[in-house]
Amino acid sequence: MTKPKQGDELVFLPLGGADEIGMNLNAYGYGPVEDRRWIIVDIGVSFGGQDKPGIEIILPDPSFLEEERDNILAIVLTHAHEDHIGAIGWLWPRIKAPVYATPFTAALVREKLRDHALLDRVPLHEVSLNAFLQLGPFGVEYVTLTHSIPEPNGLAIRTPLGLVFHTGDWKLDEAPQIGDRTDIARIQGLADEGVLAMVCDSTNVFVEGRAGSEADVRDTLKAAIQSVRGKVAVTAFASNVARLQTTINVARECGRSVCLVGRSMKKVTSAAQSVGLLQHIPPFITEEQAAGMPPESVLYLCTGSQGEPRAALARIASGGHRHVSLGEGDAVLFSSRMIPGNEVAITALQNTLIRRGVRVITDHDAHIHVSGHPCREELKDMYAWVRPRIAVPVHGERRHIIEHAAFARSLQVPMVVAPHNGAMIRLAPGTPDIIDETPAGRLYVDGGVIVEADNEALKERKRIAEEGFVSVSLAVAVKKNAILAGPDVRTRGLSIADEEAFDLALDDLADAAEAAFQRLPHAERVDDELTEAAIVRAVRKAAERAFKKRPLVEVSVLRV
């Protein structure tokens, strides 16, 4: 490793995943301010909720990285979860850097690039486990960890100013079912070199003890399946290939054939098999085949554990799936955790299933899920092995990051920085500190188009969802500047219990629109913009009196 030059700095910049769980995007910079080189670690998405109607995918804002595009050496991916790779197809055209990933992650990235017609444009480099990359001033070594997906990697990032261990997502699992155990010896070897900083997962920092092993799920999952006489559906994160392997093995022992339901489930199992995982399992049956088999002989592996409205399980629950139906005597096992923010959607899905007579089994009823993130005892072990001089908690909401910072201090880590998205942190030389603030907003994917968070259409959609909509149309005589017809008032999303009262309210809105027009001086009546603005104000006030709402009002003036 070369020696640092005068003015060189090592900086860490989270643009997603600090102050939130998901949408991870981290950058490391090295060199003087005027000639700094960058690597990006992970490029993930988050998902829209009820507060963002019509938005399914949320992206980190790459504005800063776009400005630095010529200085970006690589995008290095730690593992294949959506919150770490899901933005690659959307954001790569803005960054255009080579991408590095291990085989399973690379297989899923290829599918994303194919979906975006980028497969032939993106330099995607598939690297082996435990690989080493020299990327300008960065020496990047992949370190094997365990998590709830194949091939999770920490990254040992060496620079002339020090070594950073970036954990990515991880847990400690002595029997991970798929893949190797955490390479503790290698981690301890890094500590012997001297670790400047550890950038570490904060997800389960409030949870005492340990997350538990994937092997612990097997027996209780089998017992739960054996307790069902009818059809069984197991819903889990499709990316948790170890859980899929466990479920497939248990299904075979219970005399059930496995049917995959949902695009992601089929895509992930195909990717896993392409890199040598999920071997020696019985062939999957099709949905059509499953429909013709005895109920006690079928197990469905479904997407939709988080209540996603378009996922397979939601369509099954609503009775809208073409081939799969569940009812009395059947059961759905939720072999997954409830991601914060999804509680309402998941509960609604479970209630829909229960109303159909389906038995719902969750991790509260039986030990059918273990987390993929470290609890406090595991964090304590990692800090003891790594012995970093600086702790940098990430992958958590603000409360997680602050608690993780306090926990690191209690473990005698000499220095701690609690970052937020957009905070550029100088790790070396000197005392770690936030030295700059960069843009760190969000972009929304709206109908396949990327829009800014303050996009007017999104504001209007949210307002309509919350406050309703009123349209007002009227015809105006050009010569006399007088109303010929209307105002005609129509509403959407507004209601009054009594139908007669509703009709009277519409009359009030029409009267308010007409009065607003009549109050305008003749010179202003010829100006559409002034006319519409006056009517909008008057109708909105009238709607607030009548409906206790402030709806979006649209006015259309036809001049004849």
Rounded Cα–Cα distance for residues 70 and 40 (Å): 13
- Whole-number average pLDDT of the chain: 93
Rounded Cα–Cα distance for residues 306 and 287 (Å): 22
Contact 258/301 with Cβ under 8 angstroms?
yes
CA angle 184, 187, 193 (to 5 degrees): 145
Pull the structure tokens for residue 285: 């049956």
Pull the structure tokens for residue 471: 């349209």
Rounded Cα–Cα distance for residues 94 and 82 (Å): 19
Pull the structure tokens for residue 414: 């000499």
pLDDT at 404: 98
Contact 193/260 with Cβ under 8 angstroms?
no
pLDDT at 357: 96
298-302 vs 232-235, strand pairing mode: parallel
SS3 433: strand
Q: Which residues contact 355 (CB under 8 A, 6 or more apart)?
A: none
Question: pLDDT per residue over 9-29, tens digit each?
Answer: 999 999 999 999 889 999 999
pLDDT at 41: 98
pLDDT at 1: 65
Pull the structure tokens for residue 118: 């980028």
pLDDT at 453: 77
Q: What global pTM score does this model have? A: 0.87
Contact 250/387 with Cβ under 8 angstroms?
no
DSSP string, 14-42: EEESEEBSS--EEEEEEE-GGG-EEEEEE
DSSP string, 143-186: EE-B-SSSS-EEEEEEETTEEEEE--S-B--S--SSSPPP-HHH
pLDDT at 99: 98
Sign of the C-alpha dihedral computed for residues 208, 390, 388 and 157 taken in this order: positive
State the CATH class of domain 214-361: alpha beta
Rounded Cα–Cα distance for residues 7 and 428 (Å): 11
Domain ranges of the chain: 9-209+371-452, 214-361, 468-559
For the chain, which residues score pLDDT lower than 50?
A: none
pLDDT at 309: 86
pLDDT at 420: 96
> What's the topology of domain 9-209+371-452?
Metallo-beta-lactamase; Chain A (3.60.15)
pLDDT at 478: 80
Question: pLDDT per residue over 406-449, tens digit each?
Answer: 999 999 999 999 999 999 999 999 999 999 999 998 998 888 88
Pull the structure tokens for residue 83: 């919150």
pLDDT at 50: 66
Pull the structure tokens for residue 516: 């607003």
CA angle 234, 235, 239 (to 5 degrees): 120
> What's the topology of domain 468-559?
Ubiquitin-like (UB roll) (3.10.20)
Contact 235/313 with Cβ under 8 angstroms?
yes
Query: Which of 395, 560, 464, 517 has its CA nearest to residue 18?
Result: 395
Pull the structure tokens for residue 95: 């960054």
